[in-house]
Homo-oligomer: A and B are copies of this chain.
Amino acid sequence: MSENEKLTEERIFEAAEIVFEEEGLAGARMQTIADRAGINKALLHYYFRTKDHLFEAVFTKLAKKMFMKFTPIFEKDLSLEEKIRFFFREHITFMQQNPKLPGFILNEINHNPQRIQKLIKNIDFKYLWLTILEHHENELYKYNLTEETLPQILTSIASMSVFPFAAKGILEVVFENLGVDFDKYIELRKEFAADFVIKAITR
């Protein structure tokens, strides 16, 4: 009974994840979600009152899933170089399994920045990265890390891993023309990006 209910709600939610990720909020249709969940449109509203509610739930879960992948960096007890290598390996592997997620998240946030604001407003980034700098104090002489370059470097790291997926649609077309295989390119990128960044920031 409650087991069955749980199953239905779960099935709806999973269908919604796929459809929203594929079509975006504006492009997604409740009918499409219902069809994919194998149930009736009315049931969607029974479980999640409105389209916006359903989207909100899906978006929050997917956004957290995405950003959680960034946090282990701050905790692991590794050297800075090892952290960078660890990040690219883990994060790119994650996106291999969720290739449409980056584009979806970026796009929905651009359409409604306040969505992400709610999720991260209580994170103190300033404190967070001062902690990083402190924790790696004895390595800093090797790298060109300052309060001023840090935003540049961190966004460079993010861009190196996220961009290929956010631009997957274009890259696949260009790569086909070049005889390059997207999946192999991605596999290579895990190490290439790490080497690239480390080289760039080493004094």
Contacts and interface: CB of A to CB of B under 8 A. Distances in A.
Interface in A113-146: 113, 116-117, 120-121, 123-126, 129
Contacts of A173: 113, 116-117, 120-121
Contacts of A120: 173-174, 177
A36 interface: no
Report whether over half of chain A's contact residues are helix, strand or loop; otherwise say mixed. helix
Contacts of A158: 163, 167
Interface stretch (A6-14, A44-52, A85-93, A102-110): A102-110
Q: Looking at chain A, what size class is its interface with the partner chain? A: 35 or more
Nearest to A28: B26
Contacts of A156: 160, 193, 196
Contact of A196 (B151, B172, B200): B200
A110 B159 CA distance: 17
Contact of A152 (B177, B192, B201): B192
A170 interface: yes
A126 B200 contact: no
Contacts of A197: 200
A169 B106 contact: yes
A1 interface: no
Contact of A103 (B106, B123, B199): B106
Nearest to A112: B169
A79 to B, nearest CB: 19
7 contacts: A26-B27, A103-B110, A110-B168, A113-B169, A113-B172, A116-B170, A159-B163
